[in-house]
Chains A and B, each alone.
Chain A
Amino acid sequence: MLFASRSFCCLGIRTYRLRTDLLSRSIKLSASATMAFRHKNTRRIEGLDSNVWVEFTKVAADPSIVNLGQGLPDISPPSYVKEELAKAAAVDRLNQYTRGFGHPSLVKALSQVYERVCGRKIDPLTDILVTVGAYGSLFSTIQALIEEGDEVIIIEPFYDCYEPMVKMAGAKPVFIPLRYKNDGNSASSVDWVLDPAELANKFNSKTKAIILNTPHNPIGKVFTREELQVIADLCIKHDTLCISDEVYEWLVYKGNKHVKIATLPGMWERTITIGSAGKTYSVTGWKLGWSIGPQNLIKHLQVVHQNTLYTCPTPLQEALAQAFSIDYKRMDDPDCYFYSLSRELESKRDRMAQLLQEAGLKPVIPDGGYFMIVDVSTLNVDLSDVDEKQPYDYKFVKWMIRSKKLSAIPLSAFCGPETKKQFEKYIRFCFIKKDSTLDAAEAILKNWKKQTA
């Protein structure tokens, strides 16, 4: 504008008048143009807009692709679970609001199941919060207890939402990787361990919490009591909280036991334990989860909840309560879904591992969960000509989707910036899939092997 005014300054008075009119209008316009841009995102979400799932679920949505990427079952939930939902929706009152912090029959059922598992009294009204999936529990916990100036330790690889959630709370994520300790052939998730000295170094006076995920996504590691004790000792020494994401708690395979860190001495009072209906009952689309812990911590999660979404859907909570009642009664029975699902998945795990090995790949056999990571470097697929500045595993998965019609998730999505290079030769497969899906995967892998032979 100033440039324009200078170039007109030699002209006469009439043009002067015209010029100032034009000038003031263009200032107004440019001011409104710049003013319009002031409505950008808040600082708390700066840099948090991209998300691996948004990218890869779109790509894999093509039905001709065998989707072993995103962690969702394509097997049916048990029929009694579906029936309970139909029954609940038929009751008029259950289509209206329920108790904000959790539907009474559900928190009661949860307290029963977890009292038995934890061996301690759990008050359904003060020690439990029902949330929109375990995701919602993670968010409520982090918003309630973490803030600017805090550090939060995150074990890599990690379920990807931990990092942005910690950042959104204004805190600093401090990463520590699981390291593969063996050079052997058949890798198992047990081979991935934390270095105790390295872990101890990550704790300082600013460390507000550590996020633990056991059984672990994506590796499938089931932390042993000894490993948990190392973490617990540090939490107690530094007065640090523990956010324990145990969504895969029932999916533990032979020879392994899921240990709840909250049951270790000194840990109940500083731990929030998170669970998921989606993973427990193969109903990820119900989006119900829960946080369990001491009242003096849970009460702050409840405050977040009452200021974010207030209450979770009623009929789903009622149906879940009924399902839990059914399985609570048979917790001594091998037919209990908590155990039967695990057995079903163990055979799928073994089949998946075999398929991958026969195709010349090196899977890491998980002790728990329904994911398996695979080292694809043995295939020597040359992607150097692919222009994108993405890590190898991102390029590999996209190439695999396009050329093999098989999808997975790149592991570097689960890593902090320093470790991406370490993990970029791995991709993650999900095996909670029906037989026909695994058959289709088998066909692709067999064919693949033939082509590379």
Chain B
Amino acid sequence: FVSLSLQAKMSRPVQARRLEGTDKNIWVEFVKLAATYSKVNLGQGFPDFPPPDFLKESFVRALSGENHMLHQYTRAFGHPPLVKILAQFFGKLLGRDLDPMTNVMVTVGAYQALFCCFQALVDEGDEVIIIEPFFDCYEPMVKMAGGTPVFVPLRPKAPKDGKLMSSADWQLDPAELSSKFSGRTKAIVLNSPNNPLGKVFSREELELIADLCVKHDVLCISDEVYEWLVYDGKEHIRIATLRGMWDRTVIIGSAGKTFSATGWKVGWTVGPNRLLQHLRTVHQNSVYHCATIAQEAVAQGFQRELELYGKPDSYFVQLPKELQQKRDWLVQSLDAVGMKPIIPEGTYFLVADISKFKSDVPDVPDSDETYDSRFAKWMVKNKGLAAIPLSAFYSGAHKNNYNHFIRFCFAKEEATLKAANDILQKWKQEKTSP
């Protein structure tokens, strides 16, 4: 005999409702495919070259030093040497005095920083504006916080005659953006430089967003993990430096992207105490502490960079220089075979139009899956080249809007990029020869 109330309980799903609509994840599938089939993996975003020597040395020093307390808990909101140097460094960049204890918080990667922002600041019924294409986790995180994502697309403008498209050609329509702000809008998520397009928002574009934020009293969650990866002399402008924005912006950064050490999972938030205090509450009730030793090594890395800031030896000068070269190689490789790359102004991602290769993967009408996803899967299985379909970075309703693009990661060794080029060349030859 089972009581009615027990029956009712047993018939309910065991999982919480907050998980609804958040279980699908493109990476689980594509990472597995790449692991199984790829000879050249330009899919998931991580470097296949090591972190810089000075960072590895910092780690070794921390490990081999006398202080074995580096293997124990440190300060929950951030290891003191790290928050101090971050406050110093970003204070300089933002032109203000930052308190390491209240204006900085360390997180488990920028990913957890995003999570803290949404949990701390987005309530049920709040709307959050997300610019498409977007780093895919923003949508499920907003949903898990009970919020409603409101999407606004970057729209491609035709490039100048004969030229390749640039990520700068993808732009927001000001009237369209303005129409997305309502009385329920809590925040807008900005990602500049943007993953996957590589767009670096200009001052005018940021001012457009800032004006709307101030007008509607909306917060800005500014994901700036690729802040150092900007090319062609472009400048990464921090929206928090625009008028009226410091008090309403949380800036997010990443040691993984800054120092090519994605596996260390050290990130941070910078912002006014009245916003960060709530992030601290979420943090102390979710993970509480971040691993100590990686924080110690990153602190030393930043110390070095502070001393070398702007100088040719600075990693923040050398890395974008190297990556720009790699970008140009990949652009060339893709253009040579007829895949049309959109030249990114920043990040280590590049999106290319694969329309000319459509004959290899016939359309399947009424398919549940987007064309680019089927294409990317076919490509990794048959050509051994892994990339990510652009539709992965669009909301469900808009997945078919730009379904003939795939995203490549070019933070790879020269040998990897050459191998990619070989695959592409061979593929093109197979297409043109009988």
A interface with B by C-beta (< 8 Å)? 32, 35-36, 38-45, 48-49, 51, 53-54, 57, 70, 72-74, 76-77, 82, 85-86, 89-90, 92-100, 132-133, 135-136, 139, 143-147, 161, 164-165, 168-169, 205, 238-239, 241, 278, 282-288, 296-297, 300, 303-304, 306-316
In the assembled complex, the Cα of A241 lies from the Cα of B10 at a distance in Å of: 11
Contacts of B265 in A (CB 8 A): 309, 311-313
Contact B287 A86 (CB under 8 A): no
Contact A41 B281 (CB under 8 A): yes
User: At the interface, yes or no: B415 with Cβ under 8 Å from chain A?
Assistant: no
Contact B16 A285 (CB under 8 A): no
User: At the interface, yes or no: B63 with Cβ under 8 Å from chain A?
Assistant: yes
Contacts of A309 in B (CB 8 A): 108-109, 111-112, 115, 265, 287
Contact A135 B288 (CB under 8 A): yes
CB distance from A92 to the nearest CB of B (A): 4
1/0 contact string of B290-325 vs chain A (CB within 8 Å): 111110000000000000000000000000000000
A-B contact count (CB 8 A): 219
5 contacts between A and B (CB under 8 A): A36-B247, A39-B217, A43-B123, A95-B263, A96-B261
Besides the known contacts A42-B119, A96-B261, A285-B74, 15 further A-B residue pairs in the complex with CB atoms under 8 A apart = A42-B145, A73-B72, A85-B63, A89-B59, A95-B51, A97-B46, A97-B262, A97-B263, A132-B291, A133-B289, A147-B18, A285-B293, A303-B15, A306-B28, A310-B137
User: At the interface, yes or no: B68 with Cβ under 8 Å from chain A?
Assistant: yes
In the assembled complex, the Cα of A164 lies from the Cα of B288 at a distance in Å of: 12
Evaluate whether A94 and B286 lie within 8 angstroms (CB atoms) in the complex, with A85-B63, A86-B64, A285-B72 already known.
no
Lowest 4 A-B CB distances belong to which pairs?
A: A314-B263, A205-B5, A285-B292, A147-B16
Look across to chain B and name the residue whose beta carbon is closest to the beta carbon of A140: B286
Contacts of A161 in B (CB 8 A): 285, 288
Contact B145 A297 (CB under 8 A): no
In the assembled complex, the Cα of A72 lies from the Cα of B293 at a distance in Å of: 15
In the assembled complex, the Cα of A283 lies from the Cα of B69 at a distance in Å of: 9
Look across to chain B and name the residue whose beta carbon is closest to the beta carbon of A40: B278
In the assembled complex, the Cα of A165 lies from the Cα of B123 at a distance in Å of: 17
In the assembled complex, the Cα of A309 lies from the Cα of B140 at a distance in Å of: 12
B interface with A by C-beta (< 8 Å)? 3, 5-6, 8-10, 14-19, 22-23, 25, 27-28, 31, 44, 46-51, 56, 59-60, 63-64, 68-76, 108-109, 111-112, 115, 119-124, 137, 140-141, 144-145, 217, 219, 247-248, 260-265, 274-275, 277-278, 280-282, 284-294
8 Å CB contact of A315 from B28, B70, B112, B264: B264
Contact B17 A147 (CB under 8 A): yes
Contacts of B49 in A (CB 8 A): 92
Evaluate whether A307 and B291 lie within 8 angstroms (CB atoms) in the complex, with A238-B6, A283-B72, A312-B265 already known.
no
Contact B144 A132 (CB under 8 A): no
Contact A95 B287 (CB under 8 A): no
Contact B144 A49 (CB under 8 A): no
Contact B287 A96 (CB under 8 A): no
Look across to chain B and name the residue whose beta carbon is closest to the beta carbon of A39: B219
In the assembled complex, the Cα of A308 lies from the Cα of B112 at a distance in Å of: 6
Contacts of A98 in B (CB 8 A): 263
In the assembled complex, the Cα of A72 lies from the Cα of B195 at a distance in Å of: 40
Contact B263 A72 (CB under 8 A): no
8 Å CB contact of A308 from B6, B27, B286, B290: B286
Contacts of B263 in A (CB 8 A): 94-98, 313-315
Look across to chain A and name the residue whose beta carbon is closest to the beta carbon of B143: A307
CB distance from B16 to the nearest CB of A (A): 4
Evaluate whether A89 and B141 lie within 8 angstroms (CB atoms) in the complex, with A303-B22, A315-B263 already known.
no
CB distance from B78 to the nearest CB of A (A): 13
Contacts of A76 in B (CB 8 A): 68, 71
Look across to chain A and name the residue whose beta carbon is closest to the beta carbon of B267: A309
Contact B119 A139 (CB under 8 A): no
Contact B14 A313 (CB under 8 A): no
In the assembled complex, the Cα of A144 lies from the Cα of B31 at a distance in Å of: 24
In the assembled complex, the Cα of A100 lies from the Cα of B26 at a distance in Å of: 12
Contact A164 B291 (CB under 8 A): no
In the assembled complex, the Cα of A307 lies from the Cα of B73 at a distance in Å of: 25
Contacts of B48 in A (CB 8 A): 93, 96
